[in-house]
Amino acid sequence: MQVPPAMANLNVTVRSSGIDFPGHLHTLQSLQYAQEFQFQDTDTVIITYPKSGTTWMQEILTLIYSDGDTLPAKTIPNWLRAPWIEHYYSESVLVNKSDHRILTSHLPYHFLAKPLKQSNAKVIYVARNPKDIVVSFYHFHKIANFLPEPGTFGEFLDKFLIGEVNFGSWFEHIKEWQSHRDELNFLFITYEELKKDLRKSVTKLCNFLEHPLLPNAVDAIVRHCTFENMKENKMINYTLIPKEIINHERGKFMRKGVVGDWKEHFTHEQKQAFEKIFQNEMSNSNITLNYPL
Ligand code: A3P
């Protein structure tokens, strides 16, 4: 399996259900494929809005299913071992995988609702403080040549708050997935939880996955999945991708890996405006984010 060809469709946007997706990775056919995806009961699906800790969870799950053996994580790129269902290459990658597949998706719930409900696949929703997401997403736009130029941080923030960015509204994404959690085999976990206590989070994940591990396997996972260690792993830091697609001279994919970096970016006015919109958007949802906004 090759990486996506350099320069292919970098300036193309694919629009589906009112949401823009980068045409470098998505086609209308690949989005349709996702909507008709044949989940298996043994599948584990990572669901995230971009920049919520997707790659981190891909790495943790890879190591849980390898019982702490770091070899797969060090030798197989994440897009092959935990492919995004909606990316154009996923069908060809998945053809050789049988059971205990790790799958990834940034899609809103309604894209996957029908096929997911027909299976008992395990769904892990990773959430992150949206203020940190918008900062991370902004920096990612600067290095990812398949995303539009973000403009200033303030301009990007305005677009994020009204959902006019690639992958759509963060608010809609989390609200829609959460409102259907009882219909699914579902675990909600946050980036902040992983950051606060990775060992406890790994144990929580193992319980949900019904995949118990010996303490030394958990030790190996906790050691491998730190930011400092993962940022050197070529299989997940995207340095395998040509610089025409991800320009590492402009910044790193594994950028800071901290909680609260928004404080370095938001003005007081931006913070106030964000919190007002957050209250309006989230007040009718029964979502309790277990971290301060
Ligand atoms: P920052 O840009 O804030 O550093 P995703 O994988 O969903 O695209 O999210 C990427 C974000 O997760 C980046 O955030 C990246 O640094 C962070 N990340 C990835 N692995 C991490 C780890 N092991 N520990 C902490 N943060 C991690």
Per-residue pLDDT of the chain in tens (293 residues, 90 and over written 9): 455 555 689 999 999 999 999 999 999 999 999 999 999 999 999 999 999 999 999 999 999 999 999 999 999 999 999 999 999 999 999 987 878 899 999 999 999 999 999 999 999 999 999 999 999 999 999 999 999 999 999 999 999 999 999 999 999 999 999 999 999 999 999 999 999 999 999 999 999 999 999 999 999 999 999 999 999 999 999 999 999 999 999 999 999 999 999 999 999 999 999 999 999 999 888 787 767 78
- Tallying the residues shown for the chain, one arrives at 293
The alpha carbon of residue 58 and the mean position of all alpha carbons in its chain are separated, in whole angstroms, by 9
CA–CA dist 159, 157 (Å, integer) = 5
Q: What are the domain boundaries of the chain?
A: 26-280
What CATH number does domain 26-280 carry, 3.20.20.10, 3.40.50.300, 3.50.50.60, 1.10.10.10? 3.40.50.300
Dist. CA 131 → ligand 1 center (Å): 14
| CA dihedral sign, ordered 25, 26, 27, 29 | positive
Dist. CA 194 → ligand 1 center (Å): 11
Supply the pLDDT for residue 123.
98
Helix (H) / strand (E) element for 229: namely helix 227-230
Q: Where are the beta strands (DSSP E) in 52-153?
A: 102-105, 122-127
Helix (H) / strand (E) element for 187: namely strand 185-190
The protein residue whose alpha carbon is closest to atom 10 in ligand 1 is 51
CA–CA dist 185, 46 (Å, integer) = 12
- pTM, two decimals, is 0.97
Supply the pLDDT for residue 115.
97
Dist. CA 269 → ligand 1 center (Å): 26
- Amino acid code (one letter) for 159: K
Q: What is the β-pairing status of strands 185-190 and 19-22?
A: unpaired
CA–CA dist 193, 126 (Å, integer) = 10
Supply the pLDDT for residue 6.
55
Dist. CA 51 → ligand 1 center (Å): 7
Q: Which pair of structure tokens corresponds to residue 178?
A: 């959460």
* SS3 label, residue 84: strand
Closest atom of ligand 1 to CA, residue 139: 2
Q: Which pair of structure tokens corresponds to residue 5?
A: 């060809």
Phi, psi of 5 (to 5 degrees): -60, 140
Each residue of 16-26: b (16+ CB within 10 Å) or e? beebbbbbbbb
The protein residue whose alpha carbon is closest to atom 26 in ligand 1 is 257
The residues lining ligand 1, judged by C-beta closer than 6 Å to any ligand atom, are 48, 50-56, 132, 136, 139, 225-227, 230, 254-257, 261
